[in-house]
Amino acid sequence: MNLPVEVVEAVNQGKCVLFVGRRASLEAAAEAGVKYPGEKQLARKIAGKRATIEEALSGARAQGGRPAIAKALQDWLGVDDIAPTDFHRTAIKRFPLIFTSAPDDLLERAATQLGAPAEVLYRGQSIPRPDPMKRVVYKYWGGFERPETLALSQGERRELTHPADHKKRWRGLLKDHVLFFVGYRPDEAEFEAVWQDISESYGGELPRCHLAVAQGRISDVIWQKWVWRGLLLFLADPIEAMEELERQVDG
């Protein structure tokens, strides 16, 4: 695995922002011997038939509203019996500001284990500047502990909008910070939706970003699609990526 030099240098300078996907939780579940569905499996479980994740979530919403989406997701993505991994602990140790599209509390529990509880922010709150003396977990699509913050379907995200200064704050952040995605696959709807959400919030094409592609290879077609959009990819599961980062960073 070739961890990008730009990421290592940015972490050393305190200028790297981490964005964590649900596949970090999937990896934690696998380590604990707990079944945790991937995106296609999750969609099938929610819809009761073959469907895209957006179709499944929209169907749950149509049948039972927002509470139905929250319950369906918590039934399948809850992590009460799953412990944080070395990925979560190293992420908290090395990144003052972490965004996540995962609705669970693995990052917060990792921070508590390390003796420095993290501040948790949600969609609709202003993005802070990273502070090396603090740890902030920003739940971009909300968290199970506050169901009213969940925004995991397109409809939910349209309703739970960002504050007026959101674009300005994203632009200020990415002007001098590197954005590093871990726990995603670029051929899944979760990452496409996260990328689109950030791009709209930023107000244009994102600066060069890096993605550690989780759990397996991807096709050349998908690879080229994202390279043309300014995303630099390399293959690494979440724990693997953080272990390599820890080997290369200073101090």
DSSP code string of the chain: ----HHHHHHHHTT-EEEEE-THHHHHHHHHTT-----HHHHHHHHHSSS--HHHHHHHHHHHHHHHHHHHHHHHHH--TT----HHHHHHHHH-SEEEES--SSHHHHHHHHTT-PPEEEETTSPPPPP-TT--EEEETT-BTTBGGG---SHHHHHHSPPPTTHHHHHHHHHHH-EEEEEEE-TTSHHHHHHHHHHHHHHTSSPPPEEEEE-SS---HHHHHHHHTTTEEEEE--HHHHHHHHHHHS--
89, 31 Cβ separation under 8 angstroms:
no
39, 101 Cβ separation under 8 angstroms:
no
pTM > 0.75: yes
**In angstroms, rounded to a whole number, what is the distance separating the alpha carbons of residues 7 and 9?**
5
Assigned token pair, 209 = 């970003």
Assigned token pair, 139 = 């739940």
Burial-class residue 50 by CB neighbours within 10 Å (0-12, 13-18, 19+). Answer: exposed
Find where tokens 């379907």 sit. Answer: 153
Find where tokens 């895209």 sit. Answer: 52
Find where tokens 């244009």 sit. Answer: 204
**In angstroms, rounded to a whole number, what is the distance separating the alpha carbons of residues 114 and 97?**
16
**Splitting the chain (251 residues) into consecutive groups of 10 residues, what average pLDDT does each group show?**
92 96 95 88 87 85 78 84 96 97 96 95 94 96 91 82 91 95 95 94 91 91 93 96 94 60
**In angstroms, rounded to a whole number, what is the distance separating the alpha carbons of residues 98 and 91?**
8
| Domain 5-33+84-248 class in CATH | alpha beta
202, 171 Cβ separation under 8 angstroms:
yes
Task: Kindly list the domain boundaries of the chain, sorted by start residue.
Answer: 5-33+84-248, 39-77
Question: What pLDDT does 169 receive?
Answer: 95
CA 123 to each of CA 131, 162, 197: distance values in angstroms, whole numbers, following the listed order = 19, 6, 11
**In angstroms, rounded to a whole number, what is the distance separating the alpha carbons of residues 163 and 161?**
7
Question: What pLDDT does 251 receive?
Answer: 60
